[in-house]
Amino acid sequence: MLNTTTTDAPQMTPTEDPKGWLEQQGIREVECLVPDVNGVLRGKALPTAKFLKSLEDRALYLPSSAFLVCIDGRYSGSNDEGFGYQDPDMRMVPDVATLCLAPGAGAGKAYVFADAFHMDDRPWMASPRHVLRAVLDLYRQRGWRAVVAPELEFYLTAPNPDPDRPLSAPVGRNGRSETVQHPYDMAALEEFEPVIRRLYGYAAAAGLPLDTLIHESGTAQLEINFLHGDALPLADKVLLFKRLTRQAAQEGGMHATFMAKPIAAQAGSSMHLHMSVIDEAGNTLFAGRDDADTEMFGHFIGGLQKYIPEVMPLLAPNVNSFRRIRPNHSAPANIEWSHDNRSCGLRVPAGGRAARRVENRLPGADANPYLAMAGSLLCGYLGVEEKLSRSPEASGNAYRSKSTLPKTMEEALDRFAACSPVRELLGEDFFQTYLRVKSVELDLFQSVVTSWERDHLLLKV
């Protein structure tokens, strides 16, 4: 049930008056959310009075090991054994601009994102929010503003309590499960209308800037577009959208998954990122008055082409991610660019001068939105700084192009670790933490014997 508290009093905003906003909305509990390197929301739930007190005394803490947790819940440990065993606290500082209602969780609850700091107020740079903020600061120092628009795909599935069994499509409103593709089919979309209606209600209550929704090519695969805007608040909203989507699906007797490749015979799920850069007056820097691409736009694409292969762990963060990035599997496996060509990893959509942008089609839906945005924007930034040229425009079927992307997580992590320009700008604190977590996850995966191995090797080798 949504919190629909109304009043004749003027509507307050969280930024102007957090206490007044919380009272006006009838909030009794606030969840302070700290996204970890995998995009998992960690943190604390606290009574409103305690939350307000923390804004004054800054005495809200979380163990620093929160950034060392692998996707399976185990700790990856620290390169510094003494630090790892001490597990000192971080200071959680709520970003009151992110306060919003927590729909579907019962009346009287709110969410807020919090940033992590050392006790001496230095930013805890393993935090993805700080990583993205640092990249955006590079843009601001040059009088630029990055504008992004994420497109997020996901599957609705039947409940899957046994991970050894493949996923299957859920039963729709007509009492049947989808068995064939229905791309852009409105009747197929209506099969999940109860879940979609609930999700849109939750999103409106939480202030998520959703745009259009379509049925994608997979069975019960949907795609949501976000309105373009600033990267940091949009990354927050992508994570909230994931949480609310899972909740709405579960309440409808289904699961929602943002795995990059959840079903072997179906299309993968992406998080395409549309990116543009404007000046302080709001004018595009990617197209001139003659509507032609600017030199800066060419360098930006050149940077994406050079550095995306080196930062793939930020766009494809899991072993499963690389099952999606294969030629002719509804995902580009290249860094070619072209105008309005979806077989290219980098697509320049049709549109006028003000809408000139590039779409990075490589990130998966499983990517941490802060890190996918930070990595993509940093690649473009380096291209401009180094005045890199983009390749000739691709034509036809770019799936036939030779791929320069890493094909496995192991290769991707090796290349990421060796990329000095990116490593220098993102910092050792983040690199050491991220590589530690991802290396441990890879080792855990490689220790698992899969059903394919049992099926084909058990009685034959």
Nearest to 308 by CA among 403, 225, 238, 231: 403
CA distance 189 to 220: 8
Q: How many domains does the chain have?
A: 2
Instruction: Kindly state whether residues 89 and 143 are assigned to the same domain.
Output: no
Instruction: Kindly state whether residues 234 and 258 are assigned to the same domain.
Output: yes
Model pLDDT, residue 107: 81
Q: CATH number of the domain that 275 lies in?
A: 3.30.590.10
Q: What is the domain extent for residue 363?
A: 134-426
Side chain identity at 384, as an amino acid letter? V
* Phi, psi values for residue 91, rounded to 5°: -90, 125
Instruction: Kindly state whether residues 103 and 221 are assigned to the same domain.
Output: no
Model pLDDT, residue 4: 45
Q: Kindly state whether residue 316 falls inside one of the protein's structural domains.
A: yes
Q: CATH number of the domain that 2 lies in?
A: 3.10.20.70
Instruction: Kindly state whether residues 119 and 142 are assigned to the same domain.
Output: no
Q: Kindly state whether residue 114 falls inside one of the protein's structural domains.
A: yes
Q: Kindly state whether residue 389 falls inside one of the protein's structural domains.
A: yes
Q: Kindly state whether residue 129 falls inside one of the protein's structural domains.
A: no
Model pLDDT, residue 85: 63
Structure tokens at 41: 């929301």
Instruction: Kindly state whether residues 250 and 286 are assigned to the same domain.
Output: yes
Q: Burial, 104: exposed, middle or buried (Cβ in 10 Å; 0-12, 13-18, 19+)?
A: buried
Model pLDDT, residue 1: 38
Task: State the chain's maximal CA–CA distance in angstroms.
Answer: 76
Q: Kindly state whether residue 166 falls inside one of the protein's structural domains.
A: yes
Whole-number Cα distances in Å, 433 to 188, 240, 272, 275: 43, 24, 26, 27
Q: Kindly state whether residue 280 falls inside one of the protein's structural domains.
A: yes
CA distance 231 to 138: 13
Is residue 369 within 8 A of residue 150, CB to CB? The reply is yes
Instruction: Kindly state whether residues 271 and 407 are assigned to the same domain.
Output: yes
Instruction: Kindly state whether residues 227 and 356 are assigned to the same domain.
Output: yes
User: Low-confidence residues of the chain, pLDDT below 50?
Assistant: 1-7
pTM of the model: 0.95
Instruction: Kindly state whether residues 119 and 258 are assigned to the same domain.
Output: no
Q: At CA 225, angle to CA 382 and CA 342, rounded to 5?
A: 60
Q: What is the pLDDT of residues 322-338, one digit of tens each?
A: 999 987 667 889 999 99
Instruction: Kindly state whether residues 193 and 222 are assigned to the same domain.
Output: yes
Structure tokens at 159: 């409940």
Instruction: Kindly state whether residues 311 and 432 are assigned to the same domain.
Output: no
One DSSP character per residue, 116-181 reads EE-TTS-B-TTSHHHHHHHHHHHHHHTTEEEEEEEEEEEEEE-----TTSPP-PPB-TTS-B--S-
Q: Burial, 294: exposed, middle or buried (Cβ in 10 Å; 0-12, 13-18, 19+)?
A: middle
Instruction: Kindly state whether residues 228 and 141 are assigned to the same domain.
Output: yes
Instruction: Kindly state whether residues 440 and 420 are assigned to the same domain.
Output: no
Q: Kindly state whether residue 92 falls inside one of the protein's structural domains.
A: yes
Structure tokens at 56: 């004054």
Contacts of 271 (CB under 8 A, 6+ apart): 150, 151, 152, 153, 238, 363, 364, 365, 367, 369, 372
Q: Burial, 385: exposed, middle or buried (Cβ in 10 Å; 0-12, 13-18, 19+)?
A: middle
